[in-house]
Amino acid sequence: MSVLQTSTRPGYTSKYSIAFQGEIGAYSQSAIYAFFGRDNVNEVLPLPTLRQVFQNLVREGSRADYAVVPIENSLAGTIGETLDLLLLSNNVRIVGEVRIPISHALIAHENCSSISKIRRVISHPQAIAQCKEYLDAHDWEQIPVYDTAGAAKMIRDENLEDTAAIASELAAEIYGLQILARHIEDDHSNQTRFIVITSNASSPVLVNSEANDYRTSIIFSTEHKPGSLVDSLSTLSSRKINLTKIESRPMKSRPWEYYFYVDFEGHEKDENCRNALDELKERTIELKILGSYKRA
């Protein structure tokens, strides 16, 4: 799927304002275009932190109709802060997901005449680590900065002609930089899964007869005793509901106790899933349904 595509998901046909974490040109912005289609994005609202994204979404008078946030990377794993914020944020629901390839490009100032002129490379530490083989083949100083798109912005704003950034092709387009090399990541299978969240109860939640075309996300906690987690998850397995993700997160103020984030195939309004959730509610201390949405 191209990150610059202009198609859109069924049910999302208006012009939307969408918040995300990072600088303009971040991979989250590419995820926004991949999900909604570029023509359906009225404005993007970059914010410094994930917490501010969630807070902005529910704030009275907010311009954001939706937010798009990362939830897991195929190499680095789950973004724990996103799970924590989903638990703590009231009136936020997941209404969609999108997965995009994380393809890193080496980008430079438009006045950089050739790759031989590069003396240093800047990017987020994770992006630098994901391009280690390529970078180590060159005699460049590697300097970590706070954000991939922020690195591209620094090259433009500070007129750095001997410095390259590792960032997305979208960042190169936005900041008027040239692409010196594409696909420089060590592992070309690298992908990030993003979720689409909203506080707007009238936002589209699409339901059809194929329940397994959907994914449902929940968070729950159990009694702190042997077998409680297995007992809870049996409500899904006994109904042949496929579990696609489970992640534990520590409870605040209760050391060595955890809540569990779970994804499973199916829609909460499907009878089989609804019965499972009803039974799960009886077997847990707390259960929060985060949303059912079309699988990527």
Among all residues, which ones are annotated catalytic?
Answer: 192, 194
Q: Is 148 left (phi over 0), alpha (psi -120 to 50) or beta?
A: alpha
DSSP label at 18?
E
SS3 content of the chain, % helix, strand, coil (to 5): 30, 30, 40
Amino acid identity of residue 260, one-letter, is F
Q: Do 31 and 68 touch, CB atoms closer than 8 A?
A: yes
Give the 3-state secondary structure of residue 254: coil
Backbone angles phi, psi at 210, to 5 degrees: -95, 90
Give the C-alpha separation, 104 to 142, whole Å. Answer: 15
